[in-house]
Structure 1
Amino acid sequence: MKLFKFIAAGALAFAASLYADKPVLKIAYSDWPGWTAWEIADKKGFFKKHDVNVKLEWFDYGPSMDAFAAKKVDAVGVANGDATVLNATGARNVTILINDYSNGNDKIVGAPGIKSIKDLKGKKVGVEIGCLSHALLINALVKNGLKESDVTLVNMPTHQAVQTLESGEVSAVVAWVPHSVNALEKVTGSKELYTSANEPGIIYDVLAVSQESLMKYKDEWAKVVAAWDDVVAYMNDPKNKKEMVKILADRVGISETQYAKFIGGTRFLRLSESVKFFNKNDNTYKSIYGSSKLIDDFFVKNKVYDKSVDTKRYINSSFTEDYLKSAK
């Protein structure tokens, strides 16, 4: 028995040493549900299941992109439009995974007395200029017969949405959860005017990996993609709902009750679901290629950056497709 225990302990130590010698993939993640969900991969052992050594690093959203641009991490959870911005400004990256698409959690919230998007004509709107919230606002204005020039934009960091709306200085704010939901709950009489559910695909949320790390550790990143499929499978199982909400709420630092209210506004995707959005021939928001190109055009037009990027070059569907082939 002692010999067996000695051999078993030795085998475990050897396995641990092999795992420790594997490259450490650093992923920056933040408080959007589709990225916070990486916490589940860590807490439930899905990274270890796929034998990949991942270190998750928590940031506010803007600083997460700054950390990626500064090469302090290997990958970052971003919206597809912000992956475009990073590429345009020198932080070369490749999208290897679609985590989700926003299905209502990005919201335009009107101040008391504002009942519709059309009511914003001639009014001030708080929005983080040059990010996808800005694009969502323009989409809403156009669909309601208005132009960007019909409103006055007030540049607002998204995490300041509540205090900006409370100030009374703007007639609406554009924000994602939890800030959008907080604005609705804390500003009495505020109203949801328009959301990402009105234009599914305008915001995909992705894992963007540095070109350097992807070239070195392609096989390891494939394991990360496989771990994500386990995350969503776990989330989809009703018996895990309570534990899932607790993991996500604890990471963000809000109550489980509050978190449960808005998690449905993010459409989490298993790989078998996300693969259909990797359609290079679709130029609409129904494809990440079409969405990214439309957002790229928007950013150039609004002088977020000067020159269009080749969006097809930095979106790689092979990780999802290869996993699905191997799973058959």
Structure 2
Amino acid sequence: MKRSPRILTALLGLVAAAGTLSAEPLKIAYSDWPGWVAWEIGIQKGWFKEEGVDVEFQWFDYVPSMDAYVAGKVDAVTMTNGDALVTGATGKPSVGIIINDFSNGNDMIVAAPGIDSVKDLKGKKVGLEEGFVSHLLLLTGLEKNGLGAEDVTIVNTPTNETPQVLASKAVDAVGAWQPNSGQALKAVPGSKPVFTSADAPGIIYDLLYVSAESLEKHKEEWAKVVKVWYRIADYIRDEENLDDALKILSARVKITPEEYEPFLKGTYILTLDEALERWKNVDGLGSVYGSSKIVDDFNVKFGVYEKPLDVEKYLDPSFTKTLAEKKD
């Protein structure tokens, strides 16, 4: 008995559909940073389903999100470009395929009352987590003000404890990112940020990093994730959507939209065209490559890992570039 071409086509379609249904979703670990909480907009609005990509976002605290990635529990994780290098050197390499944003004020050196500038930190104690982005931010601020690491005493402090440590007067300043930096300002009346990531835009980039294995197996699916991201970025950057965006973002972290608005303003979320500029492989903080080279030097200098890394292996602009070409 012969099968008609129409019936055969239908059967093949059912087989393909069954394979799609049985496939594992792409698992992404994300955490409390505005450029990553932003994924919630795509989740809530069903944009991943519209693109036909099955994605499971898993909410973590930041460090546990990286631990989950290294342990192979997720396919991808949201990280800073510096922490991706640390994770790769000491645990599991990854490839950044989306530059979500760069920190534009949310990362701060918060000083106690009476300290009005970075220069006033000379001879003072600064509480921060050594080897993390706040450490690099402090050193950058010192350098820009004619000082060096030897001019301050660093007190190694977990970032989530910095508000309490500043309030205890055990240190004269702390380095932290939101929400911890904001909590430090609230905990100590009269305290102020003396240096922030807005003073060195591009020193901290925030990306989506994917395992090489998952990229190889699911390139088409990751391309769809990239497409959704830039839809999210456009939505957030449109002032008409601000109230709705703040409502969604603030609900994820259980605070009010009014409380969340400064966090969003301190994060420069990149549109597709802006991301293309940051993907150019040039030196300096205006490029994610240049920024990552600076962070790599920092990590080696302070013994985070022993040898310089090939930062280009940690970055893949092709998904963004392909999407831009399709839109032209």
Give me the TM-score of the superposition, normalised by structure 1.
0.92
Per the TM alignment, residue 209 of structure 1 is displaced from its structure 2 partner at its CA by 0.3
- Say whether 1:296 aligns with 2:261: no
SS at 2:28's partner residue? strand
**How far apart in 2 are the matches of 1:85 and 1:37?**
24
What is the identity percentage for the equivalent residue pairs of Structure 1 and Structure 2?
52
Per the TM alignment, residue 261 of structure 1 is displaced from its structure 2 partner at its CA by 2.3
Deviations, residues 135-182 of structure 1 (Å, cap 9, x unaligned):
011000111111111111111121222111111101111111111112
**How far apart in 1 are the matches of 2:18 and 2:183?**
46
- Say whether 1:323 aligns with 2:323: yes
The residue that corresponds to 1:90 in the other structure is 91
* Structure 2: 5+ residue stretches without partners: 1-13
* Equivalent pair of 2:124/2:152 in contact (CA under 8 Å): yes
The residue that corresponds to 1:168 in the other structure is 169
Per the TM alignment, residue 230 of structure 1 is displaced from its structure 2 partner at its CA by 0.8
The residue that corresponds to 1:179 in the other structure is 180
* Equivalent pair of 1:87/1:309 in contact (CA under 8 Å): no
The residue that corresponds to 1:7 in the other structure is none
SS at 2:26's partner residue? strand
The residue that corresponds to 1:67 in the other structure is 68
Taking the TM superposition and a 5 Å limit, the aligned residue runs for 1:1-328 are 20-280=21-281, 282-328=282-328
* Residues 17/264 of structure 1: CA separation in 2 closer, same or farther (3 Å cut): farther
SS at 1:71's partner residue? coil
**How far apart in 2 are the matches of 1:283 and 1:299?**
17
Per the TM alignment, residue 326 of structure 1 is displaced from its structure 2 partner at its CA by 1.2
**How far apart in 1 are the matches of 2:109 and 2:15?**
54
Q: CA RMSD in A?
A: 1.7
Give me the TM-score of the superposition, normalised by structure 2.
0.92
**How far apart in 2 are the matches of 1:134 and 1:15?**
51
Deviations, residues 113-145 of structure 1 (Å, cap 9, x unaligned):
111111111111011111111101100011111
**How far apart in 2 are the matches of 1:156 and 1:126?**
5
* Structure 1: 5+ residue stretches without partners: 1-12
**How far apart in 2 are the matches of 1:244 and 1:22?**
31
* Equivalent pair of 1:165/1:172 in contact (CA under 8 Å): yes
Per the TM alignment, residue 23 of structure 1 is displaced from its structure 2 partner at its CA by 3.4
**Could you tell me which amino acid in structure 2 is paired with residue 141 of structure 1?**
L
SS at 1:246's partner residue? helix
* Equivalent pair of 1:88/1:308 in contact (CA under 8 Å): no
**Could you tell me which amino acid in structure 1 is paired with residue 289 of structure 2?**
Y
Per the TM alignment, residue 16 of structure 1 is displaced from its structure 2 partner at its CA by 8.7
* Equivalent pair of 1:107/1:175 in contact (CA under 8 Å): yes
SS at 1:78's partner residue? strand
Deviations, residues 200-223 of structure 1 (Å, cap 9, x unaligned):
110010001011111111111111
Per the TM alignment, residue 17 of structure 1 is displaced from its structure 2 partner at its CA by 6.2
